[in-house]
Structures are given as structure tokens and as C-alpha cells.
Structure 1
């Protein structure tokens, strides 16, 4: 490991934790977390977990209940990439899913007795060969849907088990190619700059979508939005409703952060939050216009093929968004639980 570049070294340092999470046991995962995480590491977790400090608080709050719900829990990564953002901070981004047999309720989501999957996007910031910060979204609405317990509006796009990269090369090997990583990242940043031109400076043509996106692109959105195929599918099932409801997207740069990095033909971004905009019209997720500014956490991966984006994995903390507009998704879930066997008929909570 002494002769590795820093990003390959960070991937190697993360590997034992990923292995422990694959063959998941409490002791092994706790041990690997304590080895790799700084004692004061900050975990920025999706709603409803919030911010946690230190590996013990992370395990006790997040993993212990999940392991109770899925006793045969395992984690599968299909993207592991690394790089440095412009200010020099070193990151690893991982995308994949947790899976196991849903034996006991979790977060008051009713158990199914069947195997389920839950996507994750997790980003780790390294300092001195330890992880000091984590930003992570787990696709909890995906679990609700598999339990037939999603209590809000249906998705416009396709809900399914989102695949890993078509090229099966998402576990990006070393050595790290600085120039290729920068080139891939620059393509994504340029694309996003053009996206932000619409609708404030002109019609859809100002985005130059054909220049940046492959004609057979897949946009893998979070549960609640779904997957879209092709540029027109992306426009119909995500972008048009999103921008119609929040046309001031990208107008508040001082209120957001972005951490971009590239690794070969993959690029990633994280930020907590990395979008701020106002729900000023209808059309997105069935939400009524309310002139309410919200912040969004969107953790994304892109894969380029022949110079264009062929695949884009996107997780948005939708539960956090709903919380900001006064919609308690878990409270509504519990209302349905009152008629479900095994739940308290007054509170809708699991015993």
C-alpha cells in the first residue's frame, strides 16, 4: 500500500469495511468502523437519521435497527470511485444497495418476509488515512414501495431494481489517472452549467442536451421519481415537472455546496445541501405550489461512454424535502399501519 497513489490507497483502506458489510456481523462491522473512522467523524445521514458523531452513534442509530429488520443483511457495491475536489479534499463515492430478508418492521415499515433491496449513495472524506466525514442517502422510500406501504403520490417514471453500470466496471481500479478524472468531471460540470441556463435564458435548446447525453441514456432517479430512458424520457418524467415547479433552480449558489470529483470515466458529486429552490408552481410529486424555498441533497454518479453520459445514478433525500414542507411521511405511513396486523391500532407503531 506504501507505493499506491492516494486514491487507490483510500480504496484499499475502505475495502475491509465493505467486506465486513457484505458478510455482515455486528462485531466485524463495529470493529472496521472504529479502525477506519476518526473518533469524531461526522455522519450526515438522510432523513430521519440526521447528523451523528462517531462510529458508535452511527452503528447504534442506523445499522443496529436495520440488522434487526434484515437479520441476513448484506451490502453490495456496484460503484466505488475516488478523487479530489478542486479545493484538494479527498473523497470516495460508493453506490450500491443493501439487501436481505425483511423479517421485522423497520422505521415502522411493515416487514414482507421476502428479500428487499435499498439503494445507497455514500461519500467518504479522508484526512490522514481516516474518514472524517460521511454524506449518505439511503433510498428508504424504495423499501416502503416494496412493502406496498408508500403513502404518497405514485412515481411518473419507472420503479424497478436499479442496475449497476452496463459495462460492469464501476469498482474503478487503480492506478488513479488524474487527467482522465479531470476530463470526465469537466464534462459533467459543463453539462450542469448548460442545464442551469434553462429556463432563465431561453428554451430547452440552451441546455444542448444532445451534446452531453447519449441517445440511449438512462437516468436512475430515486424511488418516488423513478428511472427514465433517453433524453425525452428524462425530460418528461423528471426535468419538465421539476423545473415547472421550481424554475429558480440554481439561483442561490451561496446557499449550497458541491464536491465534484472524477475517476476514469466516472464522475460524482455530493453536497449537504447542493440545491436550493422555491416550490412556486405545481407539477412535481403532486405537491401544491406554496412559495416555499427548500434545500435538496442530491448525491449523484455519472458514467461517460464515447464522450457522452450513458448512465446517471441519482439519489435525492426526498423524505427530508417532504419534512421541510410539513409532510411527515412516516406519520402518514403509521396511519395506514393502524389496520395492519401486528401494529398498534391507535398509533400505527410496531411493538
Structure 2
């Protein structure tokens, strides 16, 4: 039993969490987080690499040679597993004197593991808002923001915009409308800033801002991210009856009044019944009379004969 406890204490004493270096190539900012994900240093970084995810594996200390034939680094560097180097003012990643001294002490004196993550995060975080400058994936957004807002229930914005920080978000409402024989749609109504929704329509997923469907029976589910770890879902079971659709077309002369036969029709362009057609155009009328839908296309033509007025100037006495 005593041997087992000794082995357990030995394992616990050697178990340490990693210090993390996070560099955002969007604005060349760098951060150092301790083993508890607490920010302990920030700096301006110089890094030509687009993306790095590695750990510190060794230390380079400058050599004092009597000849200078070899262009070797003249300062101490931390070496990553993939071969990149991290230094104060020299190497593939430059973090400044203070940040490098902190990392050097963590690795060499405290024997802490150090991870280095370099990536492009077009995100700006303020006390009351998050600003997204360019399109970003949900995974990258979550990885970057959780370093600074670990306890804040934020959503997953991925499109450019300004998003206020709130402890929670109000659930959206939905406007559902249907037209017999035609179909319908579901439109979200947000009480604050809109964000992306995930839809599932009859087993087909989409991320469009709203969804539309044709006649028949449909199962529609809207999935909404409330926070990093929670989602909210609302479902709709919709049936739109089928109707027989009858199409017809007619022509009307310019200046005529719309016929009284269309009093029960709805003009899609907003023209009222008995209104004079004053310009050449095409318009569509719809009426629903179960089990039929009548669609009439009207073409307004300008068949008026032109009036030609030719005036010739009077000849002067000096011209023949």
C-alpha cells in the first residue's frame, strides 16, 4: 500500500498542464496563458508563418566560435518540434524580451510544457462587443474567444459584423405562412442582433436565413446556438394542401381599365382593380377558389397609333 501511494505521488508531481502561446496573425498580437488558462503576458509578435500548432522541444544557446564562417543565431532560442524557432528578437517567431524571458523560465527552470499556436483570427474583442472582420469557421471562433471569455455564454457568429456581448440571448420567434396549392415558408424574427440558424427540412440540412417549401407534409426543425455548450431547437409540422393550378394569359391595350372580372383576384404588383393601365407592363393575378388556383398573366401593350406632326420652316425670300 505504501509503495502504491509513493508511485501515485510521483505521478502527480510529474503531471503538469501546458503553458500556451497564442499568436493572432490578423493583427500580430500574441498572448501567454498559464496552466489555468489565465492570461499572464501579451506582446506584439513578428511571425511570417501562416499557421503553426506545435510544442517547444529543445533550447538553442549561441555558440562562441573563433571564426564567423557560419551565420548562426547570436541569441538564445526555443526550438519547436517542427523545427521553427522562437526568440526575443530573432527566429521564426519573435515575441519580445519580456515574453521570451517568461517562456524561457517556464521551460528551462520550471520544466513546464509550452504549446505554440499561430493562426489567423479576424476577431476583435472589447468589453461590450465582439467584432468579426472576415468570414471565420465556428471552430476557429470558439478556440480563440474561449481564451478570453471562458464563462460567457456567447453564440457562434461567423459572418462579419458587430455582436454585443450578453450573458444570454433571447430565443427568436418564427413567422410561419402557407398558401394552399403553392407552399409556404418560415422566417425567423430576432429580438436583438440576428445570427445564423441551422435548419433541417425533411432530413435535408441548410443554413439559409429562411426556409421555403412546396405543397405537401413537411417536418421543419430550427436549431439555434444559445452558448458554446447549449442549443435550442424548435420544430414545425406543416401540411399544405395540393390545389389544381390553372394558367391563362391575356393582352390589354394601354389606357384601358382592368376588367371587373378580376375583382376577386390579387394583383401581385399591387395594382388595384379598375385601375387604368398607364404604362406598358406585365402583371400577374391570382385567386384561390378551392380546389383550384387561377393564375392570369396580363400583358399591357402600347398599340396606339403614333401622331406624327411635321412642321417645315417657311422659305425666306432669298432661297429658291
- TM-score, normalised via structure 1 length: 0.22
Name which one, 1 or 2, has greater alpha-carbon Rg.
Answer: 2
- TM-score, normalised via structure 2 length: 0.23
Higher relative contact order structure (alpha carbons within 8 Å, sequence separation ≥ 6): 1
Higher-helix-fraction structure:
1
